[in-house]
Copies of this chain bind each other. A is one copy, B any other.
Amino acid sequence: MTAHDPVIACGNCPIRHNAICAECESDELSMLERAKSYKTVPVGTPLARAGEPLSHFSSLVKGCAAMSRTLEDGRRQTVGLLLPSDFIGRPGRATSPFDVTALSEVTLCRFERTAFERIVRDTPHVASRLLTMTLDELDAARDWAVVLGRMTAREKLAAFLLNLAQRQRSVRGMARPSGKILVALPMSREQMGDHLGLTIETISRQITALRKDGLIEVPSRQDIRILDYDALAFEAGDDGDGAPIA
């Protein structure tokens, strides 16, 4: 832990109403306050390693991380993109089933493993919130399976950009996006490829294709501007009938 971590009080924590603590009353919050500790780590830091013990559970307060698995021959698949308020760790198991890596500088709100499992047991508002978040993640993982299994490269990229746009908005508490939106890409082309089950070259080509088709602008390497949200949603196979993309 770095000495200069800002001490955040739960009361004015940016993820107070979305994280594991969202349902807590003030007395439960002060109990969490006593158990928590902050840690800020630089980009690239491994936050968990597949198969290895995990000493702490955390909420991601600030930054971005990726959950992934790497096969023996080097093929890698990202199975989840973690944004502020997302939970890191696998309650009920001592080891993490996946690697988790910081894609940017990341600030964590951490709980020691056994302390946290006691909290889950004794605090119904935490247990209930954990169940809700896990069910939502399960839906998201299954939605993503549809993207990975059945979509073309172009559709995958469109779905990814839309997903990212929605999540970045909802972190900032904004409504469903429409029209022009600037999306901050928190990762390299290679990591996008790992997330979408594509190669870096295919990612690059599809970005170029969407740009030439007037659907997006690429102001910089780490930004993409969606020029027409609904048109991009159409590219992702969403005909506007409400079926989720991811």
Measured in the bound complex, the distance between the Cα atoms of B72 and A244 in whole Å is 12
Q: Which residues from 224 to 246 on chain A have a C-beta closer than 8 Å to any C-beta of chain B?
A: 237, 239, 241-244
Q: With A51-B242, A127-B127 as known contacts, state yes or no: A77 contacts B146, CB within 8 Å.
A: yes
Q: Does A180 contact B (CB under 8 A)?
A: no
- As for how many copies of this chain the complex holds, the number is 2
**Least Cβ–Cβ distance between A76 and chain B, in angstroms:** 7
Measured in the bound complex, the distance between the Cα atoms of B142 and A50 in whole Å is 13
Among B72, B134, B196, the residue within 8 A (CB) of A243 is B72
Q: Does A144 contact B (CB under 8 A)?
A: yes
The residue in A77, A130, A196 that gathers the most chain B C-beta atoms within 10 A of its C-beta is A77
Q: Which residues from 139 to 160 on chain A have a C-beta closer than 8 Å to any C-beta of chain B?
A: 139, 141-146, 148-150
By a CB distance below 8 angstroms, the chain B residues around A241 are: 72
Residues on A facing B (Cβ under 8 Å): 50-51, 67, 69, 71-73, 75-77, 79-80, 90-92, 97-98, 124, 127-128, 130-132, 134-135, 137-139, 141-146, 148-150, 196-197, 237, 239, 241-244
